[in-house]
Amino acid sequence: MGKGLNEFGAKWNPVTGCTKFSEGCLHCYALDRLIPQLKHEKYRNGGRLTCHYDLLDAPKKRKRPTRYFVNNMADVFHQDVPFDFLKELFATMNDCPQHVFRLLTKRTERMVELAPLFRWTNNISMGVTVESAKYLFRIDDLRKIPVCRKFVMCEPLLGPLGKMNLDGIELVLVGGESGVGFRPMDVEWVREIRDQCIAASVMFNFMQYAAVDPRPLGRVLDGREWKEVPNDDPQLELF
């Protein structure tokens, strides 16, 4: 979970809460900073993973085509999310072709295990987080999923990724860590990813530098902003 995920527009959070899983989770924006401040009834359990069955049908009530980021306050393939709950979540996405749904996970082992049991309609985009070269295998896992839209989230970027296999990847998003105690990001790591994206004709989106508050730094890299995103449908709400 990361702050930069507001790139994805509307939020749909039938699951809230999570547990830290890998190095990128150390300073989790949602668990450590955002969820503790929220007073809504939905967050009465704080950062403890909670499934909200009453929210599973929420996108069906919205007729206007919308881009949704699914569970920006959780990991959709967290081991504590019941399979039957995931089946209903996918059924909602399947039944709402007017919307685009973007899912993100670090838990690619469970994603690969369960993927054959779901229907991956064309309005679903699946992404994986890769915060360092140690987790490049998650991109290979993503290629095993029968989904036509695949993206990679490199936030927080904690080290150089080296050579990336971007076959079948539509978009790569990169961002540094934010908040007190943020871990530095070398801009050369970002350039290396950008250059590989350009060579592979993959969209590249640079979201933020690493800083306590990255907003004043902007999103300019080498004289321009890199904000490439898929144009899913001209009728959809923009990012």
Cβ partners under 8 Å of residue 185, min gap 6: 156, 157, 158, 176, 177, 209, 210
**Enclosing domain of residue 155:** 3-225
Given this model, what pLDDT does residue 234 score? Answer: 37
The answer to whether residue 239 scores a pLDDT higher than 80 is: no
Tell me the pLDDT tens digit for each residue of 30-61: 888 788 888 888 888 889 999 999 999 999 99
**Model pLDDT, residue 9:** 67
For residue 233, pLDDT over 80 is answered with no
Phi, psi of 6 (to 5 degrees): -70, -5
* Residue 238 domain-assigned (yes or no): no
Q: Does any domain span residue 113?
A: yes
- Nearest Cα neighbor of 76 from 118, 139, 35, 26 is 118
CA-to-CA distance for 29 and 1, rounded, in angstroms?
7
Is the residue at 52 inside a domain? yes
Residue 119 has pLDDT above 80, yes or no: yes
pLDDT score of 37:
84
The pLDDT value given to residue 2:
42
Q: What is the pLDDT of residue 142?
A: 98
Q: Is 147 helix (H, G, I), strand (E, B) or coil?
A: coil
Above 50 in pLDDT, residue 1? no
Domains in the chain, number: 1
| Residue 212 vs residues 51, 180, 187: alpha-carbon distances, Å | 31, 5, 16
Greater model confidence, 231 or 27:
27
| Interval 139-161: pLDDT, tens | 999 999 999 999 999 999 999 99
Residue 35 lies in a domain: yes
Query: Using CA atoms, how far apart are residues 176 and 197, in angstroms rounded to an integer?
Result: 18
With respect to residue 156, please indicate whether it lies within any of the assigned structural domains.
yes
Residue 131 forms part of a structural domain: yes
Average pLDDT, the chain: 92
For residue range 196-215, list pLDDT tens digits in order: 999 999 999 999 999 999 99
Residue 187 lies in a domain: yes
Query: Which whole-number Å values give the CA distances from 196 to 163, 174, 180, 236, in the listed order?
Result: 8, 13, 31, 29
In a domain, 236, yes or no: no
Q: What percent of the chain has pLDDT over 70?
A: 93
